[in-house]
Amino acid sequence: MRGVALSTAEIMKVVIIGNGKVGSNLSAQLVSEGHDVTVVDTRASALEKSKNTQDILCIEGNGATAEVQLEAAVNKAGLLVATTPYDELNMLCCLIAKKLGAKKTISRVRNPEYFKQTELIREDLGLSMIINPERTTADEIFRVLVFPSAAKLEVFGKGRVELVEYKLSENSKIINMSLAEIYKQTKLKILICAVVRDGEIFIPGGDFVLRAGDRISISASHKDIESFFRVTGLLKDKIKTVMIVGGGRICYYLAMQLLSIGMRVKIIENDYERCEELAELLPKAIIINGDGTDQELLMEEGITDADSFVALTGIDEENMIMSLYAKNNTNAKVVTKVNRESYIDLSSQIGLDTVMSPKYLTTSSILSYVRSMANAAGSNIESLYHIVGNKVEAIEFRISEKIPGLVGIPLKELELKNDMLICAIIRKRDAIVPGGNDRIELGDSVVVVSKEHRFSDITDILA
């Protein structure tokens, strides 16, 4: 049975070409939101699992041919998403789909050389959006390394509001305090908008008392969040040296950003040819050819002196083991790349606080776009993130029309759905942590955190 469609959203026909990690995860999300999904792949084995677990139409064939695309009814599709492992194939799929009548197309482009020039040919290919999972993941890791107190950090309103995750330890100054007490003592414009405790998620009120082990999400401007971490004794020293194990594309994109702001980067990669490539691409980085799972090698290369350790190999288990070793033997900020869904929760349970999943980050980007397309009222989705282990959504809406029953009305007079919170209003250059007397105005961006609902429009927050 299909998922229930959103109240203000239009059910859309979506064709996905490529049923790998990103494709299968995306189809599951879209089906759960009520969309009509068709998946195309050349591999019957790749389609079998999705066919048995999702209410989708599966077509075995080459998605870069007009014949197969017409069989998938791409001419009636609101969106085609090409997520095969091959950039050239993805772009060709999108070009053909656009010619056949698909309204919008999204292509995955991973090769840095292609990615640099996609803007030149974007219009000619008819691409509505270009996604690069490795670049998106690198951006996410970069933000956390620049602000190491955070386990995870998302930005809204072009950086005016940040949403930061942090896990409270036994010696945190704010444990056993209610949120109201914290706000009163710190006198900062911050909002703790979500808490995970023993696997249960809370959208907390002022009387909620924090405990050790809680994973909290804090919303505010960067300045106020930094002040909050300083006042509560949670602010960590800035990172100057980073050790990365795994020299793939994420490593390349991340190292480029870290080196550009003066951080020292050491990369350990098992493949000698790739080491030679990285040495040419990243002349300011130190490149080591070796096995990053070898603890003796890590010690020899100075893991104990590194401010941060980032595990980016293609094997989840290796990344988790190396990260645990770094966490238990150093004071480094540890970041772990994990793709398998079951390992994401496991990583948190074994004490790995900063876990990145390229497929979830990519899916969030595409879902944000899909919901904006399906939007039927006067707001647009600017950004969408899955937070606290992908169990809570944080969505930024842009108010483009004067919506009756919402715009200009004090928040305390609005009847809102349960398990959701308006955690920020961005008005021109100002970030507002809203109280009951604040109002949403035309032109504002509004950040909503929601536990149960899949909002596609700002009006969906109303009960």
- How far is the C-alpha of 399 from the C-alpha of 393, rounded, in Å? 19
Per-residue pLDDT at 378? 52
Strand partners, 269: 289
Please give the pLDDT value at position 374.
64
Q: What is the dihedral of CA 461, 140, 430, 217, to 10 degrees?
A: 50
pLDDT in tens, 177-203: 999 999 998 888 899 999 988 888 899
Element (H, E) at 418: none
Q: Is residue 318 part of a domain?
A: yes
For 168-192, the DSSP string reads --TT-TTTT-BHHHHHHHH----EE
Average pLDDT of span 147-163: 89
Task: Give the residue carrying structure tokens 């195309």.
Answer: 40
Looking at the structure of the chain, the number of domains it has is 4
When mean pLDDT is compared over 280-284, 344-348, 417-421, 433-437, the highest value belongs to 280-284
Does residue 281 sit in the same domain as residue 221? no
Pair (215, 253) in one structural domain:
no
Q: Single out the residue of 25, 392, 336, 300 nearest to residue 151, CA to CA.
A: 336
Q: Are residues 332 and 392 in the same domain?
A: no
Q: At 375, is the pLDDT very low, low, confident or very high (cuts 50, 70, 90)? A: low
**Alpha carbon distance 271, 291 (integer Å):** 9
Which pLDDT tens digit goes with each residue over 100-140?
999 999 999 988 888 778 777 777 777 888 999 999 999 99
Residue 8 has pLDDT above 80, yes or no: no
| pLDDT: which is higher, 345 or 440 | 440
pLDDT tens digits, 231-282: 888 888 899 999 999 999 999 999 999 999 999 999 999 999 999 999 999 9
pTM summary value = 0.85
One domain for residues 22 and 58: yes
The answer to whether 52 and 29 are in contact (CB under 8 A) is: no
CATH number at residue 150: 3.30.70.1450
Tokens for 379, please give them: 């707001």
Is residue 72 a part of any domain in this protein?
Answer: yes
Question: In this structure, are strands 191-197 and 215-220 parallel, antiparallel, or unpaired?
Answer: antiparallel
State the pairing for strand pair 420-427/445-450: antiparallel
pLDDT for position 10:
67
Residue 309 lies in a domain: yes
Same domain, 124 and 167: no
Domain end call among 97, 131, 165: 131
Query: Could you tell me the CATH number of the domain that includes residue 21?
Result: 3.40.50.720
Q: Are residues 259 and 316 in the same domain?
A: yes
- Do both 51 and 88 map to the same domain? yes
Question: Please, which residues bridge with residue 125 across strands?
Answer: none
Domain boundary among 68, 101, 131: 131
In a domain, 136, yes or no: no
Q: Are residues 145 and 99 in the same domain?
A: no
304 DSSP 8-state letter: G
Mean pLDDT of 215-223: 91
Say if 308 falls within a structural domain.
yes
User: In which domain, by residue range, is 393 found?
Assistant: 367-461
**Closest C-alpha among 268, 281, 335 to residue 307:** 335
Mean pLDDT of 161-181: 90
- Please check whether residue 361 lies inside any domain of the structure: no
Same domain, 331 and 437: no
Rounded to an integer, what distance in angstroms lies between the CA atom of residue 388 and that of residue 215?
Answer: 8
Q: What DSSP string runs through 7-58?
A: TTPPP-EEEEE--SHHHHHHHHHHHHTT-EEEEEES-HHHHHHHHHHSS-EE
Look at residue 302 and give its three-state secondary structure. Answer: coil
Contact 59, 68 (CB under 8 A): yes
Q: Where are the beta strands (DSSP E) in 284-367?
A: 286-289, 308-311, 333-337, 354-356
Band of the pLDDT at 371, cuts 50, 70, 90? confident
* Best CA proximity match to 23, nearest among 304, 358, 415: 358
Residue 4 in domain: no
**Does residue 94 belong to any structural domain of this protein?**
yes
CB-count exposure of residue 8 (10 Å: 0-12, 13-18, 19+): middle
Same domain for 104 and 174, yes or no, is: no
- Structural domain ending residue among the three candidates 82, 107, 131: 131
Half-sphere exposure of 458 (CA within 13 A, CB side): 30
pLDDT of 353 > 90? The answer is: no
Residue 171, classified by CB atoms within 10 Å of its CB into exposed (0-12), middle (13-18) or buried (19+), is exposed
| Whether residue 280 is found in the same domain as residue 348 | yes
Distance of CA 285 to the CA centre of its chain: 27
Residues 17, 125 within the same domain:
yes
